[in-house]
Amino acid sequence: MPIHSPIHLVALFKSLQVSTNGASTGDDAAKSYLDLQVPQIRNMLPQASGLFVVGLTENAVATDFEWNIQFISGFDRIHEAAPINIAASNLDSASGMRSAEYTTTSNFLLESRLRLWWRNKNGISGVKNAQLSAVLGVHLITA
C-alpha cells in the first residue's frame, strides 16, 4: 500500500461560469477543458506521483456536469482518461465544494499535459450561470 504524502495543490483553476441553452446535450455537448502543463509540476514536485484530487463546486455537481481527467503526452496521445464521479464524492457542506480523487496507473510526469474537461451532458436547464471551481492536487507516493 503506497504511503501518500500530504496533497500538494499544484493547480488552481480559475472559476468560470458556464451556461448552456440545452441545445447541445449528450455526447454532442460542448466540452470545456483546462490544461495543466505537466513540466511545471515536475519542476515543483519532481517526485510526484499520480494521485490527483479534483475539487469542484457543489453546483457544478447539481447540474449534471460530466467531468473527465486526461493525461496527454507530448505527441498528443491520451494515455489515460478517467471519469470523475463528483456526485459521489465528498461534499464539504460549509463551502459547497466537492472533491474526488483519481490515481494514475503510470508516471504522469512523463506526460505533457493534464487535462480536465467537462460538459453538461444532460442539458438540464438549471445549469445556467453555474459556478465552477476546480482545484487539482498531487500526492507524493513514497512507497
Partner 1 sequence: MRIGQPIDWSKAAALAGSAEETDGDGSSTGMSTRSRTTAASRPRAQSPAETAVLGHGQPVDWGKVAHPVEDVGVAETRPAGRQANPGGEKAARGSACACGGPERAAAAHSAGSGEALDWSRAAHRNVALVEHPSVEDGATVRLSVGPSKKAAPLLPIMGAGFAPSRSSNPPVIGNPPRAWESADWQVRWPDILPVNPSGPECFRNAFPEDPGASGLDELAADVTFLANYLTTSFSPSDTASASAWVAANPGAGEPAATRLLLALSDDGVTWYKTGLVVANHAGVPAVAVEGDRLYVFFNATLDGATLVDGLPATADTGDPLCCAYTTDLRSWTYRIIGNHSNTNGISYNSSGAGEGDIMALNAHDPSVVRSTLSSEAGGGEGWWLFYTLHWDRDGTRTSGTFFAEAPTLDAANWLQHAGKIFPRRETQGFGSAEDPSVIRVETATGYYLQYAAGWTAVDPSGDTYNNWIVALPSSMTQDDLDAAPWTLDSSSCWSSGYEIRLGNPMAQSAGEGFGVSPPPARSSAHHERNADSLVRARRGSGSV
Q: Which of residues 81-100 bind partner 1 (CB under 8 A)?
A: 89-90, 92, 94-100
- Choosing from 62, 64, 101, 124, the residue that interacts with partner 1 (CB under 8 A) is 101
Cα separation, 13 vs 36, whole angstroms: 9
Evaluate whether 135 touches 15 at the Cβ level (below 8 Å). Answer: no
Cell of 119: 460538459
What mask, x for binding partner 1 by CB under 8 A, covers residues 13 to 52? xxxxxxxxxxxx---xxxxxxxxxx-xxxxxxxx----x-
Quick one: how far is CA 9 from the chain centroid? Answer: 12
Instruction: Give the residue with the Cβ less far from partner 1, 112 or 122.
Output: 112
Cell of 141: 507516493
Strand partners, 91: 98
Size of the site for partner 1 (CB under 8 A): 72
Residue 125 binds partner 1 (CB under 8 A): no
Cα separation, 124 vs 21, whole angstroms: 8
* Smallest separation (angstroms) from partner 1 to the CB of 40: 5
Residue 143 binds partner 1 (CB under 8 A): no
